[in-house]
Amino acid sequence: MDTIETLRGFIAAELYKEGKPEDLTPDYPLFEHKIVDSLGLLTVISFMETQFGIVVEDDELSPENFETIGAMAKLVERKRAPANGTA
């Protein structure tokens, strides 16, 4: 399962109680539609750190990194990329 699908599955199961999981496209605005709030954000960060073996730093807690599933997946992929920048 890829990063987007893993995040979508978690958010659908834990935070998205009023809709179909397929509505959660990579660019669906999660905060705007009140799917993720401040408590939900902490839940998602904890999941990301555990599931993907990353650490989300304080300076990464910006709306740009968490406003959509696609943005979250990009953050995960950046954090998981080799330190030398080659994939």
- Please say if the pLDDT value at position 86 is more than 90: no
Helix or strand or coil: residue 79? helix
Residue 84: predicted pLDDT:
53
Average pLDDT of the segment spanning 26-46? 95
**What would the pLDDT profile of 48-85 be if each residue is shown by its tens digit?**
999 999 999 999 999 999 999 999 999 999 999 876 55
The answer to the question of residue 87 being in a domain is no
- Interhelix angle for 3-14 vs 38-52, to 10°? 140
- Find the domain containing 36 and state its range: 3-19+28-80
CA distances in angstroms from 54 to 16, 30, 83, 84, listed in the order given:
24, 22, 13, 17
Q: What is the domain count for the chain?
A: 1
Residue 25: predicted pLDDT:
96
The answer to the question of residue 39 being in a domain is yes
- Please say if the pLDDT value at position 16 is more than 80: yes
The answer to the question of residue 86 being in a domain is no
The answer to the question of residue 50 being in a domain is yes
**What would the pLDDT profile of 17-30 be if each residue is shown by its tens digit?**
888 888 899 999 99
Q: What is the CATH number of the domain that holds 33?
A: 1.10.1200.10
The answer to the question of residue 46 being in a domain is yes
